[in-house]
Amino acid sequence: MTLHIYNTLSRKKEIFKPLIEGKVYMYVCGPTVYDSCHIGHARSVVVFDVIFRYLKAIGFEVTYVRNFTDVDDKIINRANELGINSSELAEKYIQEFYDDMDALNVERATIEPKATEHIDQIVTLIEKLISKGIAYQVDGDVYFSVNSFQGYGRLSGRKLEDMMAGARIKVDQRKKNPFDFALWKSAKPDEPCWESPWGKGRPGWHIECSAMSSEYLGDTLDIHGGGKDLIFPHHENEIAQSESASGKPFVRFWIHNGFVNINQEKMSKSLGNFLMIKDVLKEYHPEVVRLFLLSKHYRSPVDFTDQFLKEAELGLDKIYALLERIEKATGSGREKEAAAGKSGQGDIWVRFAEAMDDDFNSAQAIGIIFDSVKSINRRLNNKNISSESMQIIKKGYEDILRIGNILGILTESPSVYFAAKKLSGIEKGSIDSDLIDKMVLERSTARKEKDWARADKIRQELLDMNILIEDTAEGTLWTIG
């Protein structure tokens, strides 16, 4: 199957072919760095991280640009509140962004440009738009004239006339059309600013993406992504700016991810229910968060609740438990797999790729993992595993690890994963592990003496302490429930 991608522009799934064979030029709108990243940022970044990894895995050479908006009203306001310099504030949150994303095992984009480092390109682009008569200057501001761009509203399916009818915005009398938007804003006192032909000022929000994408990716991008909310006005305005300047189509495939709700409510300032990534990661393993986020299709809204995260955790445990079982049974480990390279593609990988080829259907792809977990466990349950069966198990192991590599999960060795899980459980529940060990030992002694009553009593006591017991061939293990 060939890769199909849902294109916001056509509202259809289309066969994906890059403009230049074998190369993909992709731009995704990054954060405005004025506050900590919330779980919604995590979804967007993780979704496009997986898209980036998958495109590379199927053989594309991908140039992926994700920007930082590091100058804007929100940053300035916040910096003023805190009484610090706006660039200090931006720097602080860029660092936090990296901390969060590294924790979430997000790969770095190929290029991660900042708006403030591309003022020259922005000014040049605005000058071009002015010279074409598409942008106009009023006092120290420059506006884009939406009437000058034929296709305005095409991405979001809006018509200017319709929007006028329901206009709820304050009309700035200096604008030719209420929907004209700022390309350049003149500086107020004490605001960060740069020299320009129109006086001191700073770029508007939308222009930086047009300037930086053409700088690094050319006039026509294969893929441009971002959250659904950016469709209007941000991406609509980007199209208007870029196409007006270059005269070429700006983006071939628009990809937009859905929102994250918290307990069925939209995250919003008024509800005060913003869930920050760093706080979520205090409670859950980063791979649990990734597995959760990817278990729904990227375009659908997703509801973030404790229950669903716990389910994702159970699922991740299940996959790691299988990996551990296979490693014990076959003596293989991920070092050996790595050395062997990613030769050969088993059935599981092929099914995974089919799911991903259908508009990056990671939800279906995850279903395939669990399906495989079950069938491999079934093989491992056999007393005598045939060499043929063992080969299938090994191939399954390779495939699952390779899939994990695309989804950004299963990066740890199972023993490390489970040990860390136990340790964090001990810390969170302030559990006295020496005491538990002692009780488990006592129970083992009782079992040896076939004193079942005593053994079961101890197990019940442990259970009351939320400790689960597992008797295996290698001895008794305990985990936190």
Residues numbered 254-293 forming contacts with RNA, rule: CB under 7 A = 257-260, 266-269
Q: Which is nearer to RNA, 228 or 395 (CB)?
A: 228
User: Would you list the DSSP string of 386-434?
Assistant: -HHHHHHHHHHHHHHHHHHHHHT---S-HHHHHHHHHHHHHHHTT--HH
Q: Is 404 in the site for RNA (CB under 7 A)?
A: no
Exposure string of 355-368, with b = 16+ CB inside 10 Å and e = fewer, is: bbbbbbbbebbbeb
Tokens coding 459: 């197990």
Contact segment (CB under 7 A) with RNA among 183-191, 278-286, 304-312, 405-413 equals 304-312
Contact segment (CB under 7 A) with RNA among 122-130, 186-194, 311-319, 411-419 equals 311-319
Contact segment (CB under 7 A) with RNA among 215-223, 226-234, 329-337, 394-402 equals 226-234
Give the other-Cβ count within 10 Å of 77's Cβ.
12
Q: Residue 470 in 3-state DSSP?
A: strand
Q: Which of residues 147, 300, 391, 445 is near RNA by CB under 7 A?
A: 300
Cis geometry, peptide bond prior to residue 197 (ω within 30 degrees of 0): no
Q: Which is nearer to RNA, 53 or 443 (CB)?
A: 443
Q: Is 120 in the site for RNA (CB under 7 A)?
A: no
427 has which bridge partners?
Answer: none
Q: Which is nearer to RNA, 377 or 424 (CB)?
A: 377
Q: Which is nearer to RNA, 42 or 245 (CB)?
A: 42
476 has which bridge partners?
Answer: 471
Q: Which is nearer to RNA, 151 or 157 (CB)?
A: 157
Least gap, CB of 13 to RNA (angstroms): 9
Q: Which is nearer to RNA, 157 or 429 (CB)?
A: 157
Number of helices and strands in the chain (H, E): 17, 15
Least gap, CB of 37 to RNA (angstroms): 8
Q: Which is nearer to RNA, 269 or 282 (CB)?
A: 269
Phi and psi angles of residue 25, each rounded to the nearest 5 degrees, phi first = -110, 115
Least gap, CB of 340 to RNA (angstroms): 26
Q: Is 151 in the site for RNA (CB under 7 A)?
A: no
Cα(323)–Cα(300) distance, integer angstroms: 30
Tokens coding 253: 């495939």
Q: Which is nearer to RNA, 242 or 295 (CB)?
A: 295
Q: Which is nearer to RNA, 61 or 172 (CB)?
A: 172
226 has which bridge partners?
Answer: 256
Least gap, CB of 295 to RNA (angstroms): 6
Q: Which of residues 46, 163, 193, 212 is near RNA by CB under 7 A?
A: 163
14 has which bridge partners?
Answer: 5
Question: Residue 54 belongs to what H/E stretch?
Answer: helix 39-57
Interhelix angle for 387-407 vs 286-294, to 10°?
Answer: 90
Q: Which of residues 18, 113, 226, 404 is near RNA by CB under 7 A?
A: 226
Q: Which is nearer to RNA, 246 or 385 (CB)?
A: 385
Q: Which is nearer to RNA, 197 or 429 (CB)?
A: 429
Q: Which of residues 232, 246, 329, 424 is near RNA by CB under 7 A?
A: 232
| Cβ-based burial of 414 (10 A; exposed 0-12, middle 13-18, buried ≥19) | buried
Q: Is 308 in the site for RNA (CB under 7 A)?
A: yes
Q: Is 380 in the site for RNA (CB under 7 A)?
A: yes
SS (H, E, C) 303-326: EECHHHHHHHHHHHHHHHHHHHHH
Q: Which of residues 105, 215, 358, 465 is near RNA by CB under 7 A?
A: 358
Cα(83)–Cα(168) distance, integer angstroms: 33
Q: Which of residues 20, 314, 420, 435 is near RNA by CB under 7 A?
A: 314
Q: Is 297 in the site for RNA (CB under 7 A)?
A: yes
Q: Which parts of 43-62 interact with RNA (CB under 7 A)?
A: 43-44
Contact segment (CB under 7 A) with RNA among 17-25, 59-67, 215-223, 230-238 equals 230-238
**Is the separation of the CB atoms in 322 and 376 below 8 Å?**
yes
Least gap, CB of 296 to RNA (angstroms): 4
Number of residues engaging RNA in binding (CB under 7 A): 81
**Is the separation of the CB atoms in 29 and 42 below 8 Å?**
no
Q: Is 76 in the site for RNA (CB under 7 A)?
A: no
Tokens coding 14: 């289309």
Q: Is 162 in the site for RNA (CB under 7 A)?
A: yes
Q: Is 354 in the site for RNA (CB under 7 A)?
A: no
Q: Is 175 in the site for RNA (CB under 7 A)?
A: no
Q: Is 124 in the site for RNA (CB under 7 A)?
A: no
User: Would you list the DSSP string of 347-383?
Assistant: HHHHHHHHHHHBT--HHHHHHHHHHHHHHHHHHHHSS
